[in-house]
């Protein structure tokens, strides 16, 4: 790839911390140390400023989603804060608009419930945290729920299972956007090893 990429990670009140910072670490390390083309990574949200995640970590939103530059990829984390987002008409409309504009949408954990509420998973394979698989199916009965998969890549929408699975999905996205070799280099550099049983 010889063009630049702009990636947003959506940050909101009561987001699950690792859903945000796991993909951020992977994508940020890739952007800063591995990618051979420009990659811009932004924390985007409802509005600029500090938001408080589910366990108290404060994160700073760089740009509102409405004023952010055109995004090639948006990562939508999960967490308790997805409950109001799944009922927020303006947020759902913005996700639909991004999708129409060609932004790849990637969710972590219960972020997929928000995508489903926006009608973006209709007839698609998707995953979420194992404890929310039934809820995902209730939101949209046409979703092919794959609760046993760490992530599901369906082209312009990529979903991952719960919390730590967002790291696996982000590594997959690096392989997809760059190369498997780039993803392997990021994995080694952040020392993300497969668990030993």
Active site residues: 109
Instruction: Give the whole-angstrom CA distance, residue 147 versus residue 79.
Output: 17
Instruction: Give the whole-angstrom CA distance, residue 175 versus residue 190.
Output: 15
SS (H, E, C) 146-195: CCCCCEEECCCEEEECCCCHHHHHHHHHHHHHCCHHHHHHHHHHCCCCCC
Assigned token pair, 73 = 């990829």
110 C-beta neighbours (distance < 10 Å), count = 29
- Sheet of 63-64: strands edge to edge? 63-64, 39-45, 5-10, 73-76, 104-107, 157-160, 151-153
């Amino acid at each position: 790839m010889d063009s630049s990429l702009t990636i947003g990670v959506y940050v909101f009140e009561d987001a699950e911390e690792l859903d945000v910072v796991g993909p951020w670490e992977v994508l940020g390390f890739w952007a800063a140390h591995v990618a051979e083309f420009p990659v811009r990574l932004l924390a985007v949200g409802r509005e600029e400023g500090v938001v408080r995640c589910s366990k108290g970590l404060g994160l700073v939103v760089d740009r509102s989603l409405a004023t952010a530059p055109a995004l090639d990829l948006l990562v939508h984390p999960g967490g308790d804060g997805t409950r109001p987002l799944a009922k927020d008409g303006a947020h759902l409309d913005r996700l639909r608009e991004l999708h129409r504009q060609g932004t790849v949408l990637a969710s972590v954990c219960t972020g997929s419930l928000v995508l489903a509420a926006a009608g973006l998973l209709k007839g698609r394979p998707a995953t979420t945290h194992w404890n929310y698989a039934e809820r995902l199916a209730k939101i949209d009965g046409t979703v092919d729920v794959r609760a046993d998969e760490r992530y599901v890549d369906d082209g312009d929408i990529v979903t991952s299972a719960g919390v730590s699975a967002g790291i696996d999905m982000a590594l997959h996205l690096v392989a997809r956007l760059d190369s498997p070799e780039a993803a392997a280099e990021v994995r080694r550099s952040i020392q993300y090893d497969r668990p030993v049983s």
